Structure 1
Amino acid sequence: MSTPFIRNHQYNLIKKQAEFLQKTLQTVVDRSVLETVRYSAATNIVEAFSSLTEDQKQMLEQISTLDSASDFKSYLSALEPYLEPFPQITPKQIQKLFPKNKKLKLPDLNATDFRYLTYLSWVDIATNKLFIVYPFEGKFIGIEGRITPIHKKGYCLFCNRHQELAFFSVKTKPAHSSPDNLSFMGHYVCLENQECNHRITNLGPLEKFILSATK
């Protein structure tokens, strides 16, 4: 049985490296350049993991030996059984993360493929609110805020890809302040959160935003 060890953002990084290497193979003929790109792709992938067994490392490094489009497709497909899904969560657990929302609209968990999820999110169209649930250090963190489409493309804070954006604004309470002393923090994020999950390769900006919003 395959032991999962690849998280969604790591799989996205692997796909990104595979796409770049495949494009390079199609456009570059210099053998030394190709070998450098092959080595770089394998190195970037391995370095995205804090620890790997020797078998896992060898499996990932196979990217440096690929040539054809079918090779890359087979490589990525072979990694799918090793995807580590988003931690199991129940509707009751989600409701506890947002106790002030008595009529909280819940996402359809049965229709969600948790293998390709870095953060769980959904929009309540009636209130124009975006809800995000993120697993951090063995527990779930929930944040909510107003989401406003801007009808322009730009770079998303979470996935750093050029996409259709919306402005996500979250209420925060500065440390050592009165309950009434609220401020707001916001940033531009993907309007399509599922697509964002399919593109995110670095957890840093996402975690920084979520932790800042929950201080």
Structure 2
Amino acid sequence: MEPFIEKYRFNYIKKRVFEVSSAITSSLDKNVVIASRAHNQDKIYGVFSQLSDEQKELLSIDRIIDTVSADQFLKKLEPFVLGISIPTNDTVARLFKKHKKIRIPDSFSEDVKRVYLGWIDGGTRKLMMIYEIDRKPFGMACRLPQVKSSSVNVCSLCHNIGSDEEVAFVSPVCKTEHLGPDAYKSIGFYLCLDSDACNERITSIDKLEDLFRKVNNII
């Protein structure tokens, strides 16, 4: 069986499995556990437009009876998880034409599944991001705030809550070709500065894709 679970869907499945595991360990009422398992099974199947019988069997949570079996279930899914491809440095240079000497960090590996790639470039002091739309990579370079505040912020992608040290207001420059070939505008939103941690929490790509479409002027 080929990999078929996108990383963000795997994160969603983890949340559903945790809910079942919590019901099992915290409730003495079997009916509560049965209801939780049925509800979350429907939620897991519901994030896929279609599933084969073999895929449904893999995603069945019937055998989760405690935290150990929950962990074993998630471990069994890992070989079937899909993540973004790691682009070559030539591709990265093309995505970030206005920035010199941008390179993918050596620590990035295909073995670690990610929804998007993100890292803070030391030379530009920007949060660089790459995401695939229709299997084509697009880039987004986000300016970081110059001044720290004591505010508590919410990440637009994974909804993590944190201080400016964790979740910062970033601002990429967007292409606006309908206003002219050299026309740009800036937008802003809050994002986790630790992209790897953010990748482990994202359960929907709607906002991520919307931001990349706006920044890259994709209709």
Q: 1:161 to 1:191 in 2, by over 3 A?
A: same
Amino acid at match of 1:17: R
Q: CA deviation at 1:175?
A: 4.8
Residues 88 and 183 (structure 1), Cα distance of their counterparts in 2 relative to 1, 3 Å cut: closer
Matched residue, 1:144: 141
| Cα displacement string for residues 23-69 of structure 1 (whole angstroms, at most 9, x for unaligned residues) | 121222222222111011111111111222111012102x2431111
Q: Which runs of 5+ in 1 are unaligned?
A: none
Does structure 2 retain, via aligned residues, the 8 Å contact 1:38–1:64?
yes
User: In structure 2, what residue type is equivalent to 1:156?
Assistant: C
Does 2:71 align with 1:73?
yes
Aligned equivalents of 1:150 and 1:82: distance in 2?
Answer: 41
Instruction: Using the TM superposition, give the Cα deviation of residue 100 of structure 1 relative to its aligned residue in structure 2, in angstroms.
Output: 1.8
CA-atom RMSD in angstroms: 1.9
TM-score, length-scaled by structure 2: 0.88
Q: Alpha carbons of 1:151 and 1:197: their partners in 2 closer, same or farther (altered >3 Å)?
A: farther
Give the count of matched residue pairs. Answer: 212
Amino acid at match of 1:97: L
Contact 2:86 2:110 in 1 (8 A): no
Aligned equivalents of 2:121, 2:110: Cα separation in 1: 20
The alpha carbon displacement at 1:119 in A equals 0.3
**1:179, 1:191 → 2: CA distance?**
31
Q: Deviations over 1:1-33 (max 9, x none)?
A: x41111111111111111121112122222222
Structure 2 counterpart of 1:199: 201
Equivalent pair of 2:7/2:115 in contact (CA under 8 Å): yes
Which blocks of at least 5 consecutive residues in structure 2 are unaligned? none
Residue 138 of structure 1 deviates from its aligned partner by 2.3
Q: Following the alignment from structure 2 to structure 1, what is the Cα–Cα distance between the partners of residues 32 and 193?
A: 38
- The one-letter amino acid paired with 1:27 is S
Which letter maps to 1:56? Q
CA distance 1:21–1:189, change in 2 (3 Å): same
* Counterpart pick for 1:189 among 191, 203, 215: 191
TM-score, length of structure 1 as denominator length: 0.90
